Amino acid sequence: MATDLVGVLAVASLAAFALAWLSAVAGFGGGVLLLPVFTALFGLRMAVPMLTLAQVWSNGSRVWFSRREVNWRLVRWYALGAVPTAVLGGLLLAHAPLGPLKRLLGVFLIGVVVWRRRNPHPRRPSDPAFAGVGAGSGLGSALLGSVGPLTAPFFLAYGLTRAAYIGTEAAGALVMHASKIAAYGAGALLDRTVLLFGVALTPATLLGAWAGSKTVGRISDRRFVALVEVGLIAAGVLFLFGL
């Protein structure tokens, strides 16, 4: 039993490192790609709150490393919509039909990339529009663990890139994840195993965030946006096929 536990922890730690690195480089995506791994290891109902705990450290690290570039005005608008829907989604998690919702999100994310390619210079969204972005992200994230790619097109259209995009998106997500954790606790989803693994994965998450912060400065803006779009397609395919 102890050997099995060490093996699971090793796999989960490696995946958490990859989550934090990818999120620090692209500003999103690690949680989406990590969810299938955690689901295979722990089951979906346990994987979602466990992933949220890992994302708290990942997003917190990204905010710290990009703190001078964060657009706090956008964070406030985003949180205005994200907090109430994140709490609602967290309370619904135990009974929500996740399969159809994941496939719908998959179609949406792939469609976003097609739309961006057909409209390379979209209209810049207003600050209050991010309350709506946060509302959709909060509900989806609470039910699915991570829908970071959902917010990417809006932050990119606003004109944020690299450290400004990464730090601003992470700050909004951090507030949202804190709300989700409160809701998961109220719904009795934060059991001992979830909490223990959340703490045990902290070192790998922090190390991945640090490594990612060293990588992002070496990527041009053009390649950065291309990386984000590749992540959107990958996340959409995963959701579409229910992985």
Q: Which has the closest alpha carbon to 25: 65, 76, 69, 71? A: 65
Q: How far apart are CA 171 and CA 75, in angstroms?
A: 6
Average pLDDT (224-231) is: 71
| pLDDT score for 171 | 92
Supply the mean pLDDT for the chain: 79
Q: Which has the closest alpha carbon to 42: 201, 219, 210, 241? A: 201
Average pLDDT (184-200) is: 80
| pLDDT score for 28 | 61
Structural domain harbouring 230: 2-240
Q: Which has the closest alpha carbon to 24: 165, 140, 130? A: 165
Q: What is the pLDDT of residues 194-223, one digit of tens each?
A: 888 877 877 887 788 778 777 766 666 677
Q: Is the pLDDT of residue 1 over 60?
A: no
Q: What is the pLDDT of residues 68-77, one digit of tens each?
A: 899 999 999 9
Domain count, the chain: 1
